[in-house]
Amino acid sequence: MDSFTPTLHPSFADPFPSISDAVDLFDPLSLDPILAYEASTSMLAAGGGAAANLDLVPTFANRVSGGADAAQSTASNQPVAHAPLGSGHLHLPAVTGNYAELAAGVDLGTQTEILIGVKVRTWSPSDSQALFDQYPASLMVWLRSTGKLQLYFGTSANIQTATGIPASAPLETVIKIVRDGTDASTEVFYKDHDGSFTSLGSATLGAVGAAPSGSGQALSLGRWRSGNQKYADCSYQTLKVTADSTVTLDLDMADGAHKASSFTCASGQTVTINKSGNDPATIVRRPFLRFDGSSDSLVGVFNESNTTGGYFFASFSVNGDSGESSGRVFNMKSSEDAAGYNSGRAFLWSLRESMTDNLAYYWAYSFRGVHTGKFDEANGVILHEVKAVDGTQFSKVNNADIQSTTLNLHQLSSEDFYIAQNPLGSGSPAIDLEALYLFDETLTDDEATQVRDYLNAKSSIY
């Protein structure tokens, strides 16, 4: 039963895929930004290297040579890196209501081989996780806190693997389950570091092999749908089911668009992504840095004053209920201004307008340049552009909906900056940040267009 070797498409590969050659022709660094952060190049893990999927990010590296990095020394407040596994995966955070579902129509047959391409945080989770569920007619697959896999057939009969997946096993791996309908024997394997399948043992359940096929039952990923529901903390890349020598499910998350709510897999079933909370389940196709809307933030220091304002660009998407009131995407202030707002020496480039779904910038006791409905997860990834120069300001979202003001900004100061909170530790937005650039007032409108087009091309925002 260990003769079949699958080819994952795409393979677990470089988590930071390169952008197109056309985009590479221009680099915003050529325009001497004050700050330059991009998730694809700036997410650093604790060891100083590029962060992998689900790593905490203590440092967001400034692309400006010699420029200050953004950092968070408190581990519980560090945002989380999301980098595609291969060309994409489904992120499941073990939050109630976060899972994927396929409607009825996946026939597991009597002789079945199931291949699950998955990354988990650990092979010995603190609680049980439901990786695969077609209840009550057919099969459920659980990862237990012992590292063992437990399989349910029908409504009650079940087996656990003889041994657990070793803690030293690759977190990105393939689980293979082989059922033999003749004697109902089942064997479970995982793919080891050398690419070979390692057996976790087999068991025989007799008549259970004749359990219903499940063709009339919905199928869930990352959730057990009956009784005490369990949700998985994992990244699903592929799921392939071969029943009685026929492929009945061929699911590759790379077939779904970035942050899609649904898509059709190769075998024809519709996959629906169910999202809940500020860490929603989502299709990951591009690198981004996730802030949870309550505590995650990054802080850095300019050690200089920027009294003439400048151009700001940030591409991000909002998650869940958007996070806390007046959630700051980016806040620039004087080191003498403790709160970082209601001062002529501070400027909030991009933030939520109180508890609304509106996006704005803020200066001296007032929200400015308000974009109605633009701080909402329904918008997907947006590009917020703000020109804040002494005398004239404007704000645009996706190169549209221009909002303008006339303000006296000659007192601006920029010794301190904060990403995803205010200096008091609140005002935290629930966002996925992909890029952030800040330039001084020397950036021309033509150069701003180059930066805008560069960020749009990287993410196909508009």
Give yes or no: residues 360 and 268 share one domain. Answer: no
Instruction: State residue 196 phi and psi, 5-degree precision.
Output: -95, 155
For 380, other C-beta atoms within 10 Å of its C-beta total 16
Beta strand ranges found along 205-305 (DSSP E): 219-221, 233-243, 246-252, 262-264, 270-274, 282-284, 288-292, 298-301
DSSP 445: H
d(CA 422, CA 444): 30
Rounded mean pLDDT of the chain? 88
Asked if the structure places residue 26 within a domain, the reply is no
Confidence check: pLDDT of 218 > 70? yes
Number of structural domains the chain divides into: 2
Confidence check: pLDDT of 8 > 70? no
Q: Which two tokens stand for residue 442?
A: 């020397």
DSSP string for residues in 171-233: SEEEEEEEEETTTTEEEEEEE-TTS-EEEEEEEE-GGGGGS---TTS-EEESB--SSS--B-E
Banded pLDDT at 460 (limits 50, 70, 90): confident
Q: Which residue has the tokens 């604790």?
A: 46
Confidence check: pLDDT of 1 > 50? no
Q: Which of 235, 253, 283 is the last residue of a domain?
A: 283
Classified as helix, coil or strand, 257 is: coil
pLDDT at 211: 52
Closest listed residue to residue 379, CA positions, set 326, 458, 315: 315
pLDDT-wise least confident of 100-109, 158-167, 194-203: 100-109
* Secondary-structure breakdown of the chain: helix, strand, coil percentages, each rounded to the nearest 5: 10, 40, 50
Asked if the structure places residue 105 within a domain, the reply is yes
Banded pLDDT at 13 (limits 50, 70, 90): very low
CA neighbours closer than 13 Å in the CB half-sphere of residue 78: 21
Q: What is the mean pLDDT of residues 241-251?
A: 93
Give yes or no: residues 140 and 275 share one domain. Answer: yes
Confidence check: pLDDT of 208 > 70? no
pLDDT at 215: 65
Asked if the structure places residue 236 within a domain, the reply is yes
Give yes or no: residues 231 and 371 share one domain. Answer: no
Give yes or no: residues 41 and 134 share one domain. Answer: no
Residue 136, preceding peptide bond in cis (omega within 30° of 0)? yes
- Do the Cβ atoms of 172 and 129 come closer than 8 Å? no
Confidence check: pLDDT of 184 > 90? no
Banded pLDDT at 312 (limits 50, 70, 90): very high
- Better-scored residue on pLDDT, 20 or 363: 363
**Residue 290 corresponds to which amino acid?**
R
Confidence check: pLDDT of 348 > 50? yes
Which CATH number belongs to the domain containing residue 108 in this structure?
A: 2.60.120.200
- Better-scored residue on pLDDT, 226 or 61: 61
Q: What is the mean pLDDT of residues 409-431?
A: 91
d(CA 314, CA 330): 9
For 442-451, write each residue's pLDDT tens digit. 889 899 999 9
Banded pLDDT at 220 (limits 50, 70, 90): very high
For 68-93, write each residue's pLDDT tens digit. 899 999 999 999 999 999 999 999 99
Give yes or no: residues 315 and 194 share one domain. Answer: no
Q: What is the mean pLDDT of residues 225-230?
A: 70
Classified as helix, coil or strand, 304 is: coil
- Do the Cβ atoms of 331 and 348 come closer than 8 Å? yes
In angstroms, what CA-CA distances link 363 with 344, 403, 407? 7, 14, 9
pLDDT at 292: 94
d(CA 333, CA 305): 9
Quote the pTM value: 0.89
Give yes or no: residues 342 and 427 share one domain. Answer: yes
d(CA 130, CA 24): 42
Maximum alpha-carbon separation in the chain: 81
Q: What is the mean pLDDT of residues 140-168?
A: 88
Banded pLDDT at 19 (limits 50, 70, 90): very low
pLDDT at 182: 66
Give yes or no: residues 212 and 326 share one domain. Answer: no
Confidence check: pLDDT of 425 > 50? yes
Q: Cα 241 to the chain's mean position, in Å? A: 26
First to last CA, the chain: 49
d(CA 256, CA 179): 29
Q: Is 235 exposed, middle or buried (0-12, 13-18, 19+ CB in 10 A)?
A: buried
d(CA 26, CA 237): 32
Confidence check: pLDDT of 117 > 60? yes
Give yes or no: residues 67 and 112 share one domain. Answer: no
Give yes or no: residues 334 and 373 share one domain. Answer: yes
d(CA 279, CA 136): 29
Give yes or no: residues 191 and 322 share one domain. Answer: no
d(CA 109, CA 345): 68
Give yes or no: residues 72 and 104 share one domain. Answer: no
- Domain residues for the domain of 56 are 32-84+287-459
Give yes or no: residues 167 and 293 share one domain. Answer: no
The rounded percent of the chain whose pLDDT value lies above 70 is: 90
Q: Which residue has the tokens 């995803």?
A: 420
d(CA 250, CA 36): 40
